[in-house]
Amino acid sequence: MYRSHVLVCGGTGCTSSGSPQIIERLKDEIEKQGLQDEVAVIQTGCHGLCALGPIMIVYPDASFYSMVKVEDIPEIVSEHLLKGRVVTRLLYDETVTSGGVKALIDTDFYKKQHRVALRNCGVINPEVIDEYIGTGGYEALGKVLTEMTPDDVIQVLLDSGLRGRGGGGFPTGLKWKLAKQNDADQKYVCCNADEGDPGAFMDRSVLEGDPHVVLEAMAIAGYAIGASQGYIYVRAEYPIAVDRLKIAIEQAREYNLLGKDIFGTGFDFDIDLRLGAGAFVCGEETALMTSIEGKRGEPRPRPPFPAQKGLFGKPTILNNVETYANIPQIILNGADWFASMGTEKSKGTKVFALGGKIHNTGLVEIPMGTTLREVIEEIGGGIPNGKKFKAAQTGGPSGGCIPAEHFDIPIDYDNLIAIGSMMGSGGLIVMDEDDCMVDIAKFFLEFTVEESCGKCTPCRVGTRRMLEILTKITKGQATMEDLDKLEELCYYIKNNSLCGLGQTAPNPVLSTLRYFRDEYEAHIKEKRCPAGVCKSLLSYVIDRDKCRGCTLCARNCPAGAIIGSVKNPHIIDAEKCVKCGACMEKCKFGAIVKK
């Protein structure tokens, strides 16, 4: 029996910051101190506070160490693990109070969260099936197979109000019901773990921190619709998630939780992995299935829908990782439990990846209906450097921008659609007053153009024409007629593209036009970027009254565009200036301004 357990984050973020080296050093130091029989070191998934990684939590006192370095380990082992004295200087400062140390759950980042999909992330070793079982893992599958009919399972999901967390928000129980109603000699259960949205890492974190929850949920889905085979389509750029899925599948097979005659009930179900090559379009359900079949990942016309004719022409259901992560808990706790969280039409919780101009970048899970203000100011810690909130982008390239006027909007499926955005898979990128909304729209269009599969003309050609107009606007070369053409193109592409990705590609442009049209008009009419982002519309000028002639700007200019002698005011040659901003950054007297 160990007296202490040291949990170290092994998610992608902390791994990139050196957590594997920290774990190795930790084990060495523990052995040096002769504590190997008293202290266990456990590699977990993501704890959520990615901005503070690498993260380490010592139990039973739950001391939360943040931004740990390899060189900190000897002190933590000798002081805390050996002598019982917490190393206060390394603790997450939010947990330190005048009276001692408060629980992590009481910090601003965690206290408004409610973890369902993320309940085991950062808590268990994802590579040990016994730890998942120890938290109630596979009990839901056992209950389903021994106490419930397939119709019972589907009814629980319908009653719970669970909607797909991949972006569309389609009722999960209804999708399963439609697939069950279609008779076939073979049916399939698929998991979308492709997650191609910029700034999104929710599904990756679940797979890295709790892979068995997805396997269990997929087996439940197989029982409900009458399928015996499942496929997880995961992007190859997620190596940690892929490795842990492989380990989890092998362990589940060894425990007879996948394979033949599960729980001795006669139910057969197995799961295989298929690796995606990073094509954004393969996040669309029919393109994903085409890719699993070994063909070029392109969408198919619908109908027929996958529940009728999906993978290999057989009835198929596809849900994303987060959707599946909710299902075992719904089975165990009941539909009413899940439905008690959230709003009338958006039940349960939602996982968001917070990024951009925000203090606490990371992963959060909140009840539906939590306001954007609560997420950004309270959980996220607000905007750095005293800047003002300008907009939040949700839904990735398929979503839209939420302006400050909707800062208090309760986040759910219907509210976001009503204001021109969408939930998407859960990326939430925060922007401040220094961001140009025309440039943001251009960024997402560049991504869409690059990732278009090219199958249908509206998306293949239309998005490229949109990008050309946006580029003209950011260069100060556009007319108001171009703006009208841009808006017309948006609606044409939205109404005529083959798949959901093409149909939603204009959303970032439409939402920024709706709320920030004045910025577009400033670029066109005044040849000015109000945020000072678009290089073609910028100029750097030296205030001769403030310039001390220190030559620091000239010495740091990569283009040799600054002219002047020591102790005399300098000037910038606009023809040579590459508008990199190095001069303004280096000037100690505030003499250089951006116009």
Helix 480-496 / helix 507-525 crossing angle, nearest 10 deg: 170
Written as six digits, the tokens of 62 are 């739950």
Identify whether the C-beta of residue 573 lies closer than 8 Å to the C-beta of residue 562: yes
3-state helix, strand, coil in the chain (%, to 5): 45, 15, 40
Give the orientation angle of helix 211-225 with respect to helix 139-147, to 10 degrees. Answer: 10
Q: Are residues 176 and 325 in the same domain?
A: yes
CB 427 within 8 A of CB 396: yes
Query: What's the whole-number mean pLDDT along residues 131-153?
Result: 98
Q: Which residue has the tokens 């053409």?
A: 485
243: enclosing H helix or E strand: helix 239-254
Residues 517 and 418 in one domain: no
Residue 215's closest CA among 243, 160, 253, 183?
253
Q: At what angle do helices 239-254 and 211-225 cross, to 10 degrees?
A: 60
Please indicate, yes or no, whether residues 142 and 35 belong to a single structural domain of this protein: no
C-beta separation of 399 from 373 below 8 A: no
- Do the domain assignments include residue 519? yes
Mean pLDDT of 204-220: 98
Average pLDDT over residues 162-169: 89
Tell me how far CA of residue 292 lies from CA of 273, 274, 297, 348, 522, in angstroms: 9, 6, 8, 31, 47
Beta bridge partners of residue 430, listed in sequence order:
356, 392
Sign of the torsion formed by the C-alpha atoms of 381, 384, 388 and 393: negative
The C-alpha angle 330, 165, 176, rounded to 5 degrees, equals: 60
Instruction: Express each pLDDT in 4-16 by its tens digit.
Output: 999 999 999 999 9
pLDDT value of position 391: 96
Cβ atoms within 10 Å of 35's Cβ, excluding its own: 18
Give the three-state DSSP class for 535: helix
User: 221 and 298: one domain?
Assistant: yes
Give tens-digit pLDDT for 169-200.
899 999 999 999 999 999 999 999 999 888 88
275-276-282-284 Cα dihedral, nearest 10 degrees: 30
- Min mean pLDDT across 141-155, 236-250, 261-275, 412-426 is at 412-426
Q: DSSP characters for 330-362?
A: HHHH-HHHHHTSB-SSSBSEEEEEEEES-SS-E
Which CATH number covers residue 164? 3.40.50.11540
Judge whether 465 lies within some domain: yes
Token pair listed for 166: 């991949």
Residue 533 lies in a domain: no
**Cβ distance 508 to 444 under 8 Å?**
yes
Give CA torsion, residues 573, 579, 581, 586, to 10 deg.
-20
Mean confidence (pLDDT) of the chain: 94
The number of distinct structural domains making up the chain is 5
- Containing structural domain, residue 584: 539-594
Q: Is residue 170 part of a domain?
A: yes
Would you call 373 exposed, middle or buried from its count of C-beta atoms within 10 A (0-12, 13-18, 19+)? middle
At 369, which amino acid appears? G
**CATH number (domain holding residue 521):** 1.20.1440.230
In this structure, are residues 322 and 164 in contact, taking their beta carbons and an 8 Å threshold?
Answer: no
Q: Which residues of 63-73 are buried (b: 16+ CB within 10 A; e: fewer)?
A: bbbbebeeebb
Q: Read off the pLDDT of residues 445-475 as tens digits, 9 standing for 90 and up.
A: 999 999 999 999 999 999 999 999 999 999 9
Residues 383-418: tens digit of each pLDDT? 999 999 999 999 888 889 999 999 999 999 999 999
Please say whether the beta carbons of 358 and 434 come within 8 A: no
What would the two tokens of residue 557 be? 């200019």
495, 459 Cβ separation under 8 angstroms: no
pLDDT above 80 for 203: yes
Domain boundary residue, one of 339, 371, 398: 339
Q: Is residue 530 included in any domain, yes or no? A: no
pLDDT of residue 167: 78
- What is the pLDDT at residue 98? 67
Whether residue 335 sits in one domain with residue 200: yes
Q: What is each CA distance from 411 to 311, 323, 380, 441, in whole angstroms? A: 33, 17, 15, 22
230 and 319 fall within a common domain = yes
- Residue 95 sits in a domain whose CATH number is 3.40.30.10
Of 71-85, 89-103, 397-411, the one with minimum mean pLDDT is: 89-103
What is the reported pLDDT for 425?
80
Let me know whether 427 and 442 are in one domain.
no
Same domain, 505 and 578: no
Is residue 418 classed exposed, middle or buried when 0-12, 13-18 and 19+ CB atoms within 10 A define those classes?
Answer: exposed
CA dist., res. 54 & res. 75, Å (int): 16
Q: What is the DSSP string of 9-76?
A: E-SHHHHHTTHHHHHHHHHHHHHHTT-TTTEEEEEE---S-GGG-S-EEEETTTEEE-S--GGGHHHI
In the chain, what percentage of residues exceed pLDDT 70?
99
Residues in the chain: 595
Q: Is residue 534 part of a domain?
A: no
- What does the pLDDT look like over 224-257, one tens digit per residue? 999 999 999 999 999 999 999 999 999 999 999 9
Q: Which pLDDT does position 379 carry in this prediction?
A: 96
Whether residues 104 and 235 share a domain: the answer is no
Whether 419 contacts 406, CB under 8 Å: yes
Give the CATH number, domain containing residue 572.
3.30.70.20
Query: Are residues 248 and 396 part of one domain?
Result: no
Q: What whole-number distance in Å separates Cα of residue 574 and Cα of residue 156? A: 67
Whether 121 maps to a domain, the answer reads no
| Residue carrying structure tokens 């390239």 | 397
What is the predicted pLDDT for the residue at 34? 95
Q: Looking at 495, 525, 555, which one is the last position of a domain?
A: 525
CATH number, residue 382? 3.10.20.600
Residue that finishes a domain, picked among 473, 490, 525? 525
Q: What is the pLDDT of residue 99?
A: 65
Q: Is residue 364 part of a domain?
A: yes
Place of tokens 């999960």: 172
Residue tagged 């925000």 (tokens): 358
The crossing angle, in degrees rounded to 10, of helices 150-160 and 321-333 is: 100
> Would strands 592-594 and 540-542 be described as parallel, antiparallel, or unpaired?
antiparallel
Q: Is 278's pLDDT higher than 90?
A: no
**If DSSP codes are grouped into helix, strand and coil, which group holds residue 420?**
coil
Residues 77 and 98 in one domain: yes
On whether both 280 and 368 belong to a single domain, the answer is no
Q: What single-letter DSSP state applies at residue 133?
A: H
Contact 323, 330 (CB under 8 A): no
Distance CA 227, CA 217 (A): 13
- Look up tokens 């171009």; give the residue: 482
Q: Which of 283, 185, 276, 206 is nearest to 248 (CA)?
A: 206
In tens, the pLDDT along 293-321 reads 999 999 999 899 999 999 999 999 999 99
User: How confident is the model over 117-123, as a mean pLDDT?
Assistant: 96
